[in-house]
Amino acid sequence: MKSERTPEEKPWVSAGVAMLVALSFALVSCEKKESPTGPDNHNPPAGTAQVTGQVRDAAGQPIADAALHLVYVFTGESRATHLDQPSVTFFQSESPLMTECGGSVPIPDGVMVKLFWDRNGNGPDNSDQPPPLCDHPLECDDGPAGTVNIIEFAFNGLTSGLGPGMFYSDPGLVTQGDVLDPNRFFARIYCMDGNVLYTSNWVEPPSGVSDAVLHFDCDSSCNGAPAVPEWFLTQSYPNPAVDSITVPFGLQVTGEAVVLLSAVVERGTDTLFSGRMWSGGHEIDADLADRPNGLYYVRLVSGGYSAQHTLLRNITDYDRLRENDPAVWTANDGTFSLAAAAGVIIDRRDAQGESQGTAALARLKVVATKNGYAAADTTFEISSGSIIALNLTLHEL
C-alpha cells in the first residue's frame, strides 16, 4: 500500500549452434502426468496444479538455490511479448518408428524427418508448408529475420546411441531474428511413394533452448449521483498486476476496515490497510513489493461484512523476475515442488480499472534463474488437479 485516498480526503549440437547454446541458453524438458500413481503422488487441490522437478547444470549436476518463478500466459497474446531469448529446439523421437504401421523393422539412420510450419495455427494439415529457410543455413548469421536454419534432419538413432528407429535433431531448430507467428512446428516422415507415413504433434518452442519430444501418428496410406452508502469490494486493478494495485471498496457505516492479501496456493497473509474510515466509497493503493508471481485473494473485512476477489501478479520480464522473490527455491539436490493456480477464471482490468473481460489460467510458464546462469523457461497447458514434471538445465553465462 500504501497510500489512501477517499472522497472526504545436449551433446549432438553442431559447432555454430553449440556456441549459441553455450553463451545464451538453457535446456528444458517437461512431461504432463495425467494419471499419477504410486505412494508419493497425490492429487492437487481443486483450482491448482502441482509442478515438481529438478534443476541441473550442463554437466547434469543438481543446482541448489535456483529460483523458480511462475508466469501466466494468456490466449491471444503475442508470443513475442514474453520472448526473452530466441528459441532453439532439439526434436527427439518418443519411441522407435518402424518402416510401416505396425511393422517391426526400424527406420534406418539417414532417412529424413521433414519440418513444417503450422502457419494457420489449426494443427497439421495438407496446407502447411516448410518454414522459410534462411539465406545461409545452418547458422543463419545473415538472416533474413523470420526464418529458420533447418527444414529437415536425419534419423540418427544408432550413431547417437538412442537406438534404431530413433532421432535427436542435429542441429536444433533456430529462429533467426523475430520468431515466426505462430511459432508452431510439426514433423512428417514420408514413404518411398511420396505419401505421408508419420505426422507428429505440433510443438510451440519456448524462448531459450528446449527439447521437444515428438510422438507420431502413423497413416497406413500413407468503468454520480449521491447514493446511500453500501458495502462493496470491487475488483482491484490492474489485473494482472506488476508493481501496485488500487483496491476500490465501500462501507455502509463509519467503522474499522481491513484489507488483506493472501496467496491462494500457500500460507501467509499481508495487511494492505487497517484503520477507521468514513462511510461511502474509498480506494487504497497497495504496493506489491517483492511478492512472487501468482494468484492472490484480496479481502475486505469491516463490521459484519466481508468479501474477496482474486488478483494475479504476473511479471513477465526476466530481469524483473530475478529481482523479486520466487515461488520456490531448489533444494540441495536441485529438486523443487510448487503449486500453481490452474483452471481459475480471473477478471482482467486495465490500469484505469476498465474491464478487459475474463481469462482462464490455463497456460503456465515456469522460469528458472540463478546468478551466473542464463534463464531457462518452458510453457505448457495446465488444468485443475494436474501434476507436471519438469527438468530444467541452466547454462553458465
What residues does each domain of the chain span?
1-84+224-397, 86-206
Average pLDDT over residues 354-367: 87
Lowest model confidence (mean pLDDT) among 28-37, 79-88, 108-117, 376-385: 28-37
Asked whether the beta carbons of 152 and 114 are under 8 A apart, the reply is yes
Q: 215: burial class by Cβ within 10 Å (0-12, 13-18, 19+)? A: exposed
Tell me if residue 16 falls in helix, strand or coil: helix
pLDDT at position 24 is 38
Spatial CA neighbour of 131 closest among 144, 143, 115? 115
Q: How many Å separate Cα 23 from the centre of its chain?
A: 22
- Using pLDDT thresholds of 50, 70 and 90, give the confidence band for residue 85: low
The helix (run of H) or strand (run of E) holding residue 54 is strand 48-57
The helix (run of H) or strand (run of E) holding residue 2 is none
Whether residue 97 has pLDDT greater than 60: yes
* Percent of the chain residues past pLDDT 70, beyond the cut: 82
Check the CA dihedral 175-180-184-188 and report its sign.
Answer: negative
Check the CA dihedral 270-276-280-283 and report its sign.
Answer: negative
Most confident stretch, 114-128, 135-149, 257-271, 328-342: 328-342
Lowest model confidence (mean pLDDT) among 67-81, 97-111, 157-171, 377-391: 67-81
Whether residue 100 has pLDDT greater than 60: yes
- Using pLDDT thresholds of 50, 70 and 90, give the confidence band for residue 161: confident
Average pLDDT over residues 103-122: 91
Whether residue 20 has pLDDT greater than 60: no
Q: How many Å separate Cα 59 from the centre of its chain?
A: 25
264 φ, ψ (degrees, to nearest 5):
-70, -40
pTM as predicted: 0.57
- Using pLDDT thresholds of 50, 70 and 90, give the confidence band for residue 42: low
Asked whether the beta carbons of 299 and 308 are under 8 A apart, the reply is yes
The helix (run of H) or strand (run of E) holding residue 117 is strand 112-117
Whether residue 43 has pLDDT greater than 90: no
Average pLDDT over residues 146-160: 88
- Per-residue DSSP letters for 353-384? --EEEEEE--EEEEEEE-TTB--EEEEEE--T
Average pLDDT over residues 69-90: 63
Whether residue 369 has pLDDT greater than 90: yes
State the amino acid at position 25 in one-letter form: F
Asked whether the beta carbons of 179 and 83 are under 8 A apart, the reply is yes
Question: 10 Å Cβ neighbour count for 362?
Answer: 18
- Using pLDDT thresholds of 50, 70 and 90, give the confidence band for residue 37: very low
Question: 10 Å Cβ neighbour count for 5?
Answer: 11
116-152 burial: b if 16+ Cβ within 10 Å, else e: bbbeeeeebeeebeebebbeebebbeeeeeebbbbbe
- Using pLDDT thresholds of 50, 70 and 90, give the confidence band for residue 87: confident
DSSP code for 98: B
Whether residue 26 has pLDDT greater than 80: no
254-313 pLDDT, tens digit each = 999 999 999 887 767 899 999 999 888 899 999 998 789 999 999 999 999 999 999 999
Question: What CATH number does the domain located at 1-84+224-397 have?
Answer: 2.60.40.10
Asked whether the beta carbons of 321 and 72 are under 8 A apart, the reply is no
Q: How many Å separate Cα 13 from the centre of its chain?
A: 25
314-327 pLDDT, tens digit each = 998 888 888 888 99
Non-local CB neighbours of 30 within 8 Å, separated by 6+ positions: 53, 378, 380, 388, 389, 390, 391
> Grid coordinates in use for 74?
494468456
**Separation of alpha carbons 211 and 346, rounded Å:** 32
Average pLDDT over residues 194-218: 88
Q: What strands, in cross-sheet order, belong to the sheet with 147-148? A: 147-148, 173-176, 87-93, 208-214
Whether residue 107 has pLDDT greater than 70: yes
Who wins on pLDDT, 377 or 63? 63
131 prior amide bond cis, ω within 30: no
**Separation of alpha carbons 95 and 77, rounded Å:** 34
Q: How many Å separate Cα 57 from the centre of its chain?
A: 21
State the amino acid at position 171 in one-letter form: P
Whether residue 54 has pLDDT greater than 90: yes
Residue with cell 499419477: 36
**Separation of alpha carbons 116 and 131, rounded Å:** 6
Nearest 5°: the CA angle 305, 271, 315 is 115
pLDDT at position 226 is 59
- Using pLDDT thresholds of 50, 70 and 90, give the confidence band for residue 75: low
- Using pLDDT thresholds of 50, 70 and 90, give the confidence band for residue 32: very low
- Using pLDDT thresholds of 50, 70 and 90, give the confidence band for residue 127: confident
Tell me if residue 43 falls in helix, strand or coil: coil
Whether residue 66 has pLDDT greater than 90: yes
Between the alpha carbon of residue 235 and those of residues 277, 305, 344, 346, 352, the distances in Å are 19, 16, 15, 10, 12
